[in-house]
Amino acid sequence: MAWIVKPSATAKIPTRDEAYLTDAAKTRYEKDILPRYETKMGALMPILHDIQHENGHIPYQAMIEIAKFLEITPGDVLDTVSFYEEFHTEKVGKYIIGVCQSIACEMCGHQAIIDHVRQKLDIEPHETTEDGKFTLLAMECLGACEGAPCALINEDRHDNLSIETIDKLIDSLPD
Ligand code: FES
């Protein structure tokens, strides 16, 4: 297998003039989040959650600002963001369909579910439909193995899925 290498040294990231870590946010983090941790690095996860909550995803510019604020490297921030499926570096759809692909769900037919969603929405995992309505993810164990195969649609988990039930769920979501 050939590795696809990205030209990271010359890559340009989209930026905007307005900071993602506003002065108000920094003051709040200093007061409410940093004191909870022994090191500044410990505050990374709650700050990432906060930034994603505010913006729907975590832009690369925000990662650089977070790194500066926490006195860690942008690589430390990117490592963390890219490790967790729940963090997004790009805009995501109104509805995020996260089909579990871990062992119990795999044994109970997750592939048929994910293939059906791929075909129905014409997107691959980690892609968003052109209308911005759906993003498809293949996720690791959702902690509900007894209900395999299962999926999250935004915050709600749906267990014992079949092609018919995932179809109905998707069709029932308002624009
Ligand atoms: S393997 Fe799917 S919920 Fe645990």
Tokens of 110: 């997750």
104 shares a domain with 71: no
Among 90, 64, 68, residue whose Cα is nearest residue 78: 64
* pTM, 2 dp: 0.79
CA of 37 to the centre of ligand 1 (A): 31
Neighbours of 48 (CB within 10 A): 20
Examine the domain organization and report whether 119 and 78 are in the same domain: no
- Residue 156 vs residues 32, 99, 114: alpha-carbon distances, Å: 28, 12, 17
Q: Which of 99, 100, 140 to mutate to test the pocket of ligand 1 (most atoms within 8 A of CB)?
A: 100
Domain end among 62, 83, 104: 83
3 within some domain: no
CA-angle at 43, arms to 81 and 61, nearest 5°: 45
Task: Using the mean position of ligand 1's atoms as its centre, give its distance from the Cα of residue 168 in Å.
Answer: 21
> What mean pLDDT value characterizes the chain?
94
- Asked whether residue 67 is assigned to any structural domain, the reply reads yes
For residue 142, the enclosing domain spans: 95-171
User: Is the residue at 166 inside a domain?
Assistant: yes
Q: Of 27, 55, 83, at which residue does a domain stop? A: 83
Q: 89 in a domain, yes or no?
A: no
Mean pLDDT of 20-37: 97
Q: Where are the beta strands (DSSP E) in 5-73?
A: none
21 CA distance to ligand 1 middle (Å): 35
Note the pLDDT tens digit of each residue in 58-104.
999 999 999 999 999 999 999 999 998 889 998 999 999 999 999 99
Is residue 108 in contact with ligand 1, taking CB distance under 6 Å?
no
Structural domain contains residue 162 = yes
> Would the CB of 141 count as within 6 Å of ligand 1?
yes
Structure tokens given for 65: 């600002």
At 153-174, the pLDDT tens digits run: 998 999 999 999 999 999 999 9
